[in-house]
Amino acid sequence: ENWQHPSGRAVTRDDLMMTLANLESIHIRTIYDNRMASVGLSDISMDTTTKDFTLQENPRDVEEC
């Protein structure tokens, strides 16, 4: 609900899914500042699957677009 196109129009779910298609990495930029005591980033994960997935049930939270 907080994502917007450069034009200011709200991003739809379809817009976001098309953007995320074939995503291989996410790069996070930060700026070091001497006033910072510490900075942390944790519990980050990226789930993937293949068309050859062999479990009988569908993988959780994975869509085919």
Whole-number pLDDT of residue 54? 64
CA distance 45 to 58: 19
Structure tokens at 16: 């976001």
pLDDT tens for residues 31-65?
A: 778 887 887 888 877 777 666 766 666 555 556 55
Domain containing residue 7: 1-32
Residue 10 has phi, psi (to 5 degrees) of -65, 140
> Is residue 56 in some structural domain?
no
Tokens describing residue 30: 């930060």
In a domain, 37, yes or no: no
Number of structural domains the chain divides into: 1
Of 25 and 52, the structure prediction assigns the larger pLDDT to 25
Q: What is the predicted pLDDT for the residue at 33?
A: 80
What is this structure's pTM? 0.41
Distance CA 2, CA 63 (A): 22
More confident residue, 19 or 61: 19
Domain presence at residue 7: yes
